[in-house]
Amino acid sequence: MTTAEQKPAVRPLSTKMMKLSPDMKDGVLLGSRCNECGTYFFGAPQFCVRCTSNSLKQVELSKQGKLYTYTIVRQAPPGWQGQVPYILGAVALPEGPHITSEIIDCPEETVKIGMPLDVVFRAGGKMMDGTEIIVFKWRPAQA
Amino acid sequence: MARAMAVNVRPQREVVIAGVGLHPFGRFPEKAITDLAREAVLEALVDSGIKFKDIQVAYFGHVYQEGATPGEMTLRQMGLTGIPVVNVENACSSGSTALWLAYWNVAMGMFDIALAFGSEKVPRGPVATTAEGSPMRFLGSDFMMAAYAMGMRRYMELYGAAPEAFASVSVKAHKNAAINPYAHYKKTFTLEEVMNSRKIADPLTLYQCCPTSEGGAAAVVIAKDIARHNVKDPARCVSIIGAALRTQKWSDEEEDEGGQIALAGKDAYEMAGVAPKDIDVVQVHDAATSGEISSVEALGLVPHGKAWKMELDGEMDISGRLPVNTDGGLQGMGHPFGATGIRMVHELCTQLRGEAGVRQVKKAKIGLAQNSGAGGVATVFIVRK
């Protein structure tokens, strides 16, 4: 086995959801805009679920949104053993989609519906084969 | 022209529930899901007076399973009668989906006598709804109770609801379950005990999340015009006057005004020719306590933003203005997925027949049951006696 093979593989959670910088430390969320009705979606759906058109264009989504709602998860769901408590937030982007992920760097007592949050890209666990997955998370907006 | 109803048909004849049965909900390590299902079916057959050889079609609701075709594996123990049997998976609404299929088959004249049944042995611990390795698992969002908690937090923000209102749903549910011999948890809790139980996903505490359970439920449905010659006691039959199943529909609204639950409710009210004010007793999907509050509002039984106060005031108790989850609901009865939707209709039949004993709602003539499933499913049944 060569050294190169021993280096753990790293990949984004989904190339349909995000575009990462070469060092995978920064990036942008990807979405789609329906060419017929103009509705925005997160990721790359094949069809517009509002009007059922199959004509959509890939777009980069805003890096900041507002907290729509949240919870503090205290019992670990599958794969999150040892990582509770964590704040889970649904963030409304200006384009419309609500995007749910962990909120980091945010003391529990400061989380508040309506607060602005920035998207960040972080290591988010491993696949069964050891591949490290880069996910998006939310962080209180930097002034 | 767009139609209001999801189902572009009208029932061709009246359909009644001739009998219902339950296997108690709880933990039964010595039993298979086919055992739980069979015992519920036998009880429903005895209750109806219909013989198994007279059942013409059967639908079995389940989510998890022990091998292929659990419906057939159950019924073949009772006789190889050659009837069509269909296994139905629609998440937590699998049981009511089986009943919906049985109802429409008889209503449209395909068969005269149908069986809807369901059972489940739900494993302990948090329930995930996606497969291993799915994106949601990496994002920490594959957790049903976290989704309920986020809906609850939004509701509290919009309407100023107190967390005690949600906890009081659990107190009431366990009070009802404690006097129901079929319930998983026959134990009462104080408001403080519910509020102070272990936190699962803020603001939801452990005693506000339904238990994972095992159990079975069954219902025999029959065309009313032949019921009198076939059932044990036609006077105990309960008519199905509304039967609706919907999935999520796109909404441009910022706030969810009831989603598929509201859609299924509208279908069922229209079909039944009744309004929310006509409903005397209600069963709704309280997998989390917040589910009861959002469901009664989605169904138009209570105006948006008002149900939390009614819960605090005890207006949804058995003796209240709008009795909800009189058998203990998912909170107290427990939640064996495939059985739950039929369990709700079992309780409505028990109430409308005046056989609920210490849980009896006074003068109950019309009942409504609402069952939800992951993936955006909702069913609503309206029954009358």
For residue B203, the chain A residue with the least C-alpha distance is A71
pLDDT value of residue B26: 98
Helix, strand, coil percentages (3-state) for chain A, rounded to 5, are: 5, 45, 50
How many Cα neighbours within 13 Å face the side chain of B2?
A: 1
Query: What average pLDDT does range B108-112 have in this prediction?
Result: 97
pLDDT beyond 50 at B1: no
- Residue-wise pLDDT tens digits, A39-67: 999 999 999 999 999 999 999 999 999 99
The rounded distance, in Å, linking the Cα atoms of B63 and A24 is 39
Residue ranges of A 2-61 with Cβ closer than 8 A to chain B: 13-14, 17, 49-50
pLDDT value of residue A4: 54
**What is the average pLDDT value for chain A, to the nearest integer?**
94
- Residue-wise pLDDT tens digits, B227-261: 999 999 999 999 999 999 999 999 988 877 789 99
The answer to whether B250 contacts A50, with C-beta atoms less than 8 Å apart, is yes
pLDDT value of residue A63: 97
Query: What average pLDDT does range A105-130 have in this prediction?
Result: 95
Residue B276: Cβ-neighbour burial (10 angstroms; 0-12, 13-18, 19+): middle
pLDDT beyond 50 at B2: no
Find out whether B115 and B55 touch, Cβ atoms under 8 Å.
yes
The nearest CA of chain B is from the CA of A72 a distance in Å of 5
Find out whether B363 and B352 touch, Cβ atoms under 8 Å.
no
**What is the average pLDDT value for chain B, to the nearest integer?**
95
Which two three-digit tokens encode residue B325? Answer: 């989850």
CATH 3.40.47.10 assigned to B15-123+213-238: yes
In chain A, where are the structural domains located?
A: 10-140
Mark out chain B residues that contact chain A at CB-CB < 8 A.
Answer: 126, 128, 132-133, 135, 137-143, 145-146, 149-151, 153-154, 157, 198-204, 250, 252
pLDDT value of residue B3: 47
pLDDT value of residue A104: 98
pLDDT beyond 50 at B149: yes
Q: Which of B132, B138, B146 sits opposite A73 (nearest CB)?
A: B146
The answer to whether B143 contacts A77, with C-beta atoms less than 8 Å apart, is yes
pLDDT beyond 90 at B218: yes
User: How far, in Å, are A65, A92, A103, B150 from residue A117 at the CA level?
Assistant: 5, 10, 8, 17
3-state secondary structure of B310: helix
Site from A15, A73, A108 to mutate, B interface, most B CB atoms within 10 angstroms: A73
Residue ranges of A 98-127 with Cβ closer than 8 A to chain B: 100-102, 113, 124-125, 127
CA distance from start to end of chain A: 48
Helices B163-177, B289-298: inter-axial angle, 10-degree rounding: 100
Query: What average pLDDT does range A92-112 have in this prediction?
Result: 97
Positions of B annotated as catalytic residues are 92, 335
The answer to whether A71 contacts B204, with C-beta atoms less than 8 Å apart, is yes
The rounded distance, in Å, linking the Cα atoms of B227 and B48 is 10
Q: Which of A68, A72, A100 sits opposite B154 (nearest CB)?
A: A68
CATH 1.10.20.10 assigned to B144-210+242-384: no
- Residue-wise pLDDT tens digits, B255-291: 777 899 999 999 999 999 999 999 999 999 999 999 9
Which residues are CB-neighbours of A125 under 8 A, at least 6 positions away? Answer: A79, A132, A133, A135, B138
- Residue-wise pLDDT tens digits, A71-86: 999 999 988 999 999 9
Q: Which of A14, A49, A80 sits opposite B250 (nearest CB)?
A: A49
